[in-house]
Amino acid sequence: MSAFENVTVIVIHGAWADGSSWEPVIRRLQQQGFNVVAAPIPLTSLSEDAAALRRTIVRTQGPVIVVGHAYAGAVVGTAQDERVKALVYVAALAPDEGETVADVFYHDEPHPKAPHLAPDSDGFIWMPDESFSEAFAQYATAEQIALCRAVQRPISAKSIREPVASPAWKTTPAWYLIAEEDRMINPKTQRFMAQRMKATIRSFAVDHTPLLTSPDKVADIICEAAQATLD
């Protein structure tokens, strides 16, 4: 019997992705005995994404660990529920009260290979195809990159412009995986946010999407958060 069989890990994808981006980590967590659910957020506004997370939490029972990648860090911060025992940020954005996702995303200078991002005529922001291999996940396999391009989901500009309320990391223990070779979110920005959160920090020489390229490291930090908060 696994010590984690009554624990649910909710994983949340970021912009330009869907739940399939978590597949390597989901398999590893399931092998550890966790229940795992990928929250299907619409990427239409931060409020609507937060509502999708709340609906996902309601569907679970017992203690919950909420994990977010990139943009989804802002969504993780809305997880104000007594059953949520820990928050895990994977190269994720963590705006403070009154800030927007854009405020923290542009906190420091961009990487030279970071994509140029601008909304289309419908107000949605798409990732240029070449940027999946140049910045989003430069250490991913060709097969992984092809899948990322195929399932890409745009994010509404509204999502990154909406100020956040008081985030859950102010009252819930948090862990932060800093991706030191991230070309999307400056590692300096990640460290600033993690330190401000007073998170437990784990730092690795990984790209922006370690859930694809270093899933063992991501699964390990989730297990660490569960062990520390559920004993």
Which domains, ranges and CATH numbers included, belong to the chain?
A: 8-230 (3.40.50.1820)
H-run or E-run covering 39: strand 35-39
Point out the least confidently predicted range of 4-8, 36-40, 56-60: 4-8
pLDDT at 219: 98
Going by pLDDT thresholds of 50, 70 and 90, the confidence category of residue 2 is: confident
Going by pLDDT thresholds of 50, 70 and 90, the confidence category of residue 231 is: low
Cα separation, 107 vs 187, in Å, equals: 11
Helix axes 215-230, 23-31, angle to 10 degrees: 50
pLDDT digits (tens, 9 = 90+) for 49-107: 999 999 999 999 999 999 999 999 999 999 999 999 999 999 999 999 999 999 999 99
pTM of the model: 0.97
Tokens 């624990």 identify what position? Answer: 7
- Calculate mean pLDDT across residues 170-182: 98
Tokens of 29: 């967590």
